[in-house]
Amino acid sequence: GGYFYQGTFEGENIISWDNEMQRFKKYISNFKVSKYCITNYQFLQFVVNKGYTNKKYWSNMGWRWRLKKKLIQPINWEYDRDFKGKEWREKIAGIYYVLRMNNPIINISYHEAYAYCNWSKCRLPTESEWEYLTSFYINDEKLNSNLNCKVGTTISVLDDKNINKLKIVGLYGNVWE
């Protein structure tokens, strides 16, 4: 934790949203965060351990949302009993591929992320904590070629070279927040 400047100044030469203005000094208390994005493998453990059918992990609104959507797993996943001896697969650009276990989980809702965090006894970072973590890049020119990934593609968290000064991997460029 510590102090940092959150937000941007109007007219600053960076891409920003209007709700990110004006810049202000903010104190962040100490907290812990995973070194890597949550992977498909980690999220799969939540799925196979009945995370989607146990109401205790979900917020009330999230549980209602899950029931309405009739979800028992992420919307872009399927369990294919006929595919090479039962495998989990993920849909990418309309095509199913074998689930890439070391890639970050993608295409889940806030409700699903919240439930996963409850199941794994952690929490999502606040907006201020997220911005604090991203403030530890030396400058944007240090970001690796992940920023040039094709839409809908990600790479393994183990191959991601986008590391900040705190040794946290993948805050930019591999997946969209």
Report residue 138's pLDDT band, with 50, 70 and 90 as the boundaries. low
3-state secondary structure 103-135: CECCCCCHHHHHHHHHHCCCCCCCHHHHHHHHC
The pLDDT value given to residue 16: 54
The pLDDT value given to residue 73: 97
Mean pLDDT of 11-26: 65
d(CA 177, CA 175): 6
* Short-list 70, 16, 76, CA closest to 43: 76
The pLDDT value given to residue 151: 45
Q: What is the pTM of this model?
A: 0.83
pLDDT in tens, 66-105: 999 999 999 999 998 766 657 999 998 899 899 999 999 9
User: In the predicted model, is pLDDT for residue 142 greater than 50?
Assistant: no
Report residue 160's pLDDT band, with 50, 70 and 90 as the boundaries. confident
The pLDDT value given to residue 156: 86
pLDDT in tens, 24-76: 789 999 999 999 999 999 999 999 999 999 999 999 999 999 999 999 999 99
d(CA 175, CA 69): 24
The pLDDT value given to residue 109: 96
Question: What radius of gyration do the chain's Cα atoms show?
Answer: 18
User: Could you tell me whether strands 87-92 and 77-80 are parallel, antiparallel, or unpaired per DSSP bridges?
Assistant: antiparallel
- Tell me how crowded residue 72 is: count the other CB atoms within 10 A of its CB: 13
d(CA 107, CA 112): 10
